[in-house]
């Protein structure tokens, strides 16, 4: 079991992208400020996608332009293609680029208009150019644990995609359970296979959704592998606009509560995350899915 892990806050991007309520740029920056106040050192702040397809991310450049620049945090932008990367690089305000490649052709066609092979080819170019630009790079494989259109995704296919992307020497490879179908045994098998295939030169990251109530269990399983970073979203909001019935990420406060009780070091303050979660609930005008936001932390004597 790992004794330390990084919690990567994704609520400004994956959290908001599937919400019907469009938050203002100012409120998105307030959410990011809350994450900073809670001690988050890696934050995925936006995605550079077509504004008509994902209107929640239409202000990506405006969000980046107003990010507080400080030496103790790395801001990340998600991209799906060359155009998105050029937009992200042009902001000059990000430290990390996350390139997403699908594990199934049908999801790739629905999500980014590309087959797996086409997306890998673009990904290799983007990851290489981002590294040359001095940006930290993450290659994320979407629907790695199951596809809403094709069903089961073979692990050997996921590992093969990771090996192809590794040719661009990304700093990190992430597996995403985009539709929340994964279970702990899959997590253990997948990340063990990934580490065996990639060796120790690349960090591993996990992105789980709690659609079927297995997200936190999957995060626990990931701690038993070589995963160094776990994604989470304040309030547990989120989902993919192009996957049917997709629901939220694992909640940051739920994850932090578990890590605290397990004495796993992570650097995020639970009480401040709860403050952020309650603020976000008000901003969205509805309760958030998080369990700890409802129950609170461990009761004081």
**CB 254, CB 231: distance < 8 Å:** no
Name the 3-class secondary structure at 54: coil
Residues 6+ apart with CB under 8 A from 86: none
Strand partners, 172: 138, 203
**CB 139, CB 127: distance < 8 Å:** yes
Question: Which residues are known to be catalytic?
Answer: 240
Residue 246 confidence (pLDDT): 76
Residue 91 confidence (pLDDT): 98
Q: 65-104 burial, b if ≥16 CB within 10 A, otherwise e?
A: eebeeeeebbbbbbbbbeebbebbbebebbebbbbbbbbb
Q: How many CB atoms lie within 10 A of CB 51?
A: 12
Domain ranges of the chain: 6-295
Residue 296 confidence (pLDDT): 96
Task: For strands 136-142 and 203-207, give the pairing.
Answer: unpaired
CA distances from 7 to 56, 62, 193, 205, 297 (A): 23, 25, 23, 10, 18
Residue 243 confidence (pLDDT): 80
Residue 26 host element (H or E): helix 25-37
**CB 125, CB 82: distance < 8 Å:** yes
Residue 262 confidence (pLDDT): 97
Residue 241 confidence (pLDDT): 83
Residue 245 confidence (pLDDT): 75
| Cα torsion 99, 82, 32, 277: sign | negative
Residues 6+ apart with CB under 8 A from 121: none
Task: For strands 74-79 and 6-9, give the pairing.
Answer: unpaired
Residue 159 confidence (pLDDT): 98
Q: For the chain, 301 residues long, give each residue's pLDDT as a single digit of tens.
A: 899 999 999 999 999 999 998 999 999 999 999 999 999 999 999 999 999 999 999 999 999 999 999 899 999 999 999 999 999 999 999 999 999 999 999 999 998 999 999 999 999 999 999 999 999 999 999 999 999 999 999 999 999 999 999 999 999 999 999 999 999 999 999 999 999 999 999 999 999 999 999 999 999 999 999 999 999 999 999 988 878 777 889 999 999 999 999 999 999 999 999 999 999 999 999 999 999 999 999 998 8
Q: List the CATH code of the domain at 6-295.
A: 3.20.20.70
């Amino acid at each position: 079991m790992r004794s330390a892990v990084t919690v990567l806050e994704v609520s400004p991007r994956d959290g908001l992208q599937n919400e019907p309520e469009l938050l203002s740029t100012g409120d998105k920056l307030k959410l990011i400020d809350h994450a900073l106040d809670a001690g988050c050192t890696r934050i995925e702040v936006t995605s550079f996608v077509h504004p008509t397809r994902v209107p929640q991310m239409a202000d990506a450049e405006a969000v980046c332009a107003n990010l507080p620049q400080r030496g103790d945090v790395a801001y990340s932008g998600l991209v799906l293609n060359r155009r998105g990367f050029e937009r992200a690089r042009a902001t000059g305000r990000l430290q990390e680029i996350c390139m997403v490649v699908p594990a199934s052709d049908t999801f790739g066609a629905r999500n980014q208009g590309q087959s797996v092979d086409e997306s890998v080819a673009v990904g290799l170019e983007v990851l290489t150019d981002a590294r040359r630009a001095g940006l930290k790079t993450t290659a994320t494989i979407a629907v790695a644990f199951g596809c809403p259109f094709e069903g089961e995704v073979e692990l050997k296919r996921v590992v093969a995609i990771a090996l192809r992307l590794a040719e661009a020497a990304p700093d990190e490879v992430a597996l995403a359970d985009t539709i929340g179908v994964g279970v702990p045994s899959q997590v253990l098998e997948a990340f063990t296979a990934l580490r065996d295939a990639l060796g120790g030169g690349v960090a591993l990251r996990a992105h789980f959704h709690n659609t079927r109530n297995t997200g936190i269990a999957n995060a626990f399983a990931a701690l038993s592998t070589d995963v160094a970073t776990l994604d989470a979203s304040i309030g547990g909001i989120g989902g993919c606009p192009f996957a049917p019935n997709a629901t939220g990420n694992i909640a940051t406060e739920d994850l932090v509560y578990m890590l605290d009780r397990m004495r796993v070091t992570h650097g995020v303050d639970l009480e401040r995350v709860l403050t952020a979660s309650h603020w976000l609930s008000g901003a969205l005008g509805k309760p958030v899915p998080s369990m700890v936001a409802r129950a609170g932390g461990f009761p004081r004597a």
